Amino acid sequence: MKVEVKKCSPPSFRGEAVVVCHFEDAKKLAGAALELDRQSGGILADLIRRGDFTGKPAQVAVVYTRGALPVHRILLLGLGKKKEFDLEKLRRGFSKAARSARELGLAEFAICLDPAPGSPGLEDMTEAAVEGVMLGLYRFTQFKTAERNGLKEVRRLVFLASDGREATRMKAAAAAAEIVSKAVCYARDLVSTPSNEMTPTDMVRRAREAAVSGKVRLTALGPREMEKLGMHALLSVARGSMEPARFIILEYAGGSRGDKPYVIVGKGLTFDSGGISLKPPEKMEEMKADMSGGAAVLAVIKAAAELGLPLNLVGLVPATENLPGGRAYKPGDVLRSLSGQTIEVISTDAEGRLILADALTYAGRFKPRAVIDLATLTGACVIALGEDVIGMMGTDEELKNDLRRAAVETGEKLWELPIWDDYAELIKSDVADMKNTGGRAGGAITAAVFLGKFVGGIPWVHLDIAGPAWLSKERPYIPRGASAVGVRLLLRFLRDRAAAAKKVTGNS
Ligand code: BES
Ligand code: MN
Ligand code: ZN
């Protein structure tokens, strides 16, 4: 989809459709809606007067102008009550409006935004609208050979700006939001792709797309290199599979040479059968999504480079399948991790923490400013927080606070769970330094406590995305299935951090 900004007053816009907004508790139409209403002899006010349109959140009415205006249709979009208005309402509303436009078979439509005093600014509103449209229209059609052709597609989105200055501001915001939204769609594609076409080796191939910018360097380690390093936790998980494990390293150098990088680590389990501790068959097909954290990491690096964020960033993705096989690792095995610490395997289905253990140890090499990992790690986290919420656990208050802020800004909800020292008791082993499960109680937490043993003293946050990574029902701008959760969250976090750093050094 192409996103454009055009200097044009709403009543003079010529085209198939234009979207304008209305608040539920506004006494009269305002902004662009009011302008269109005046020029058309009151076609919008009529809808509201007759009670057909109240302006409740994400309500969409299609109004035909029948020659009263150069535009053929007005899509009137409800934004709810002024006091309750936020960017999430805008994303949801514009997703709905975009789907209506597509349903009508429109190849393009225009959008008018009217920032009100005290409400989010024009840039933020533009970003939210682009996200709502692009994320709401996302579909995964790669394997629908019959349906694919003949699908209605919105190809162009035009923002109307009232003057040149506004146009400049909107253009920058729209371009950034387009990069972010494309990254989300890229990650959704990777996650939706079945494991027979998304092996660890395929992930490396897709990671090359993230490394197109000259500022990103891709290194992919194979089994022999990992063997040399001593990454036996990761290699053990891979033993049951014929597919070789890969360790993906993406380095983006957008900052100064000496700047400590942020390291983001994503679980890249391209298929999790549970291994010898085999999972029950129900919903096992969804375990192709066990590389959602890894997909998010690739997407974040790609977008960070395209945005030209002024910071250094490293993405690490340990990628493997977890299968039962003649050489598979087994319960009772003791593994020697890259850190030197030994791990007793209780369940081969607690494989995510094993591959992350070696990745987190490897992260230490970069002397990171902070480490953030994303993983579909535990069913326990889904039980604790539900399908919509990321479980956050970590050691650094500032990092956690900044992620909380990014969560509010993006609508990607997260909630903190504690990782008090007491929990470490639960993963003590009789034969090794620790065991890889701590029983059912507090399962999301004991998994995080396990990970913490491999982080060293670096500021660290673990995000358990087992709930929101794969959705059983669609959300306003997320289809059923792969959500690419974490991509917008981390990009918001990194953009905010980059902006804060700029302020401190004074070079804006
Ligand atoms: N990938 C799963 C976790 C998961 C479950 C993700 C459901 C998404 C939806 C992970 O590897 C796993 O199997 N975890 C086990 C850990 C247990 C054996 C301690 C779990 O949650 O049951
Ligand atoms: Mn598992
Ligand atoms: Zn898993």
User: What is the model's pLDDT at position 118?
Assistant: 80
Ligand 1 atom 16: the closest Cα is on which residue?
350
- In eight-state DSSP terms, residue 68 is S
Active site residues: 279, 353
Residues 329 and 347: their CA atoms lie apart, in Å, by: 10
Q: So what's the pLDDT on residue 213?
A: 79
Nearest ligand 1 atom to the CA of 289 is 8
CA–CA distance, 300 with 190 (Å, rounded to integer) = 13
Cα 378 to ligand 2 centre (Å): 8
275 Cα to the center of ligand 3, angstroms: 10
pLDDT of residue 116: 82
Q: Once rounded to an integer, what is the mean pLDDT over residues 103-119?
A: 93
For residue 274, which atom of ligand 1 is closest to its CA? Answer: 13
Q: Rounded to an integer, what is the distance from CA 143 to the centroid of its chain?
A: 23
CB burial string 402-436: b at 16+ within 10 A, e below: bbeebbebbbbbbeebebeeebbebbeeeebbbbb
What's the pLDDT tens digit per position in 42-62?
999 999 999 999 999 999 999
- Alpha-carbon distance of 220 to 207, in angstroms, equals 9
C-alpha 350 to ligand 2 mean position (Å) = 5
What was the pLDDT predicted at 205? 98
Which residue type occupies 235? Answer: L
Q: Which two tokens stand for residue 370?
A: 């902070």
Residue 273: name the closest of 290, 260, 261, 257 by CA: 290
Residue 49 Cα to ligand 2 middle (Å): 57
Query: Rounded mean pLDDT of 407-432?
Result: 98
Nearest ligand, CA 466: 1
Contact yes or no for 339/361 (Cβ under 8 A)? yes
Residue of 322, 323, 349 with the most ligand 1 atoms within 8 Å of its CB, for mutation: 349
**Using CA of residue 419, residue 420, residue 426, residue 427, what is the dihedral sign?**
positive
pLDDT band, very low/low/confident/very high, at 149 (cuts 50, 70, 90): confident
What's the token pair of residue 253?
Answer: 């150098």
Question: Using a 6 Å CB cutoff, which residues line ligand 1?
Answer: 272, 290, 347, 349-352, 376-380, 382, 437, 443, 466
Q: What is the pLDDT of residue 333?
A: 98
Q: What is the pLDDT of residue 502?
A: 83
Nearest in space to 471 (alpha carbons), one of 390, 356, 380: 390
Q: Which atom of ligand 1 is nearest to the CA of 277?
A: 18
Residue minimizing CA distance to atom 3 of ligand 1: 378
- Ligand nearest to the backbone CA of 471: 1
Among protein residues, the one whose CA lies closest to atom 7 of ligand 1:
379
Query: What is this structure's pTM?
Result: 0.97
Relative to the CA of 436, which ligand 1 atom is closest?
19
**pLDDT tens, residue by residue, 453-463:** 999 999 999 99
Q: pLDDT tens, 320-348?
A: 999 999 999 999 999 999 999 999 999 99
- Taking the centre of ligand 2 as the mean of its atom positions, its distance from the CA of residue 285, in whole angstroms, is 13
Q: What is the pLDDT of residue 266?
A: 99
Closest ligand to Cα 380 = 1
Instruction: For residue 256, give every residue at least 6 positions away whose Cβ sits within 8 Å of its Cβ, in sequence order, or none.
Output: 312
Closest CA relative to residue 195, chosen from 121, 136, 273, 130: 273
